[in-house]
Amino acid sequence: MSPQDERRADERDRRAHKRGMAEDVDRKARRKLRARRERDRGVWFGLGMFGLVGWSVAVPTVAGTALGLWLDATFPGQVSWTLTLLLAGVALGCLNAWFWVKRESRHDNH
């Protein structure tokens, strides 16, 4: 290998090293900013999110139960509409809460 080829190879290595360092610094800066945003949210944000998730489960559950009670009173039969719609409301509420939390976590990562 000629001295000129060695210099070119060394220069390529230095540029690659600088790019790697710049990417590391950029990644660490983004992580620091994300941590600062999360810290600034504080306790009230956590309580608000907890309440939001709770309501997103409670509302479909109560609505399903109320509709089930009305159906059982209006159309009596062997199937318990109250129990069926209670379980459907819980399932729908949990799915709804999962989407809320997933969406919030996606916003935190960007």
Q: Which domain holds residue 16?
A: 3-109
What is the distance, to the nearest Å, from the Cα of residue 101 to the centroid of all Cα atoms in its chain?
A: 4
Place of tokens 């000129």: 4
pLDDT in tens, 40-98: 667 777 777 778 888 999 999 999 999 999 999 999 989 899 999 999 999 999 999 89
Rounded CA-CA distance 62/89 in Å is 7
pTM score, two decimals? Answer: 0.56
Provide the pLDDT for residue 40: 60
Give the residue-averaged pLDDT of 9-16.
70
The total number of structural domains that make up the chain = 1
Predicted confidence at residue 52, as pLDDT, reads 81
Instruction: Please enumerate in sequence order all residues whose Cβ is within 8 A of that of 89, keeping only pairs 6 or more positions apart, or say none.
Output: 60, 61, 62, 63, 64, 65
- Binning pLDDT at 50, 70 and 90, where does residue 3 land? confident
The pLDDT of 7-32, averaged and rounded, is 73
For the stretch 93-110, pLDDT in tens is: 999 989 888 887 776 555
Residue 50: CB atoms within 10 A of its CB come to 10
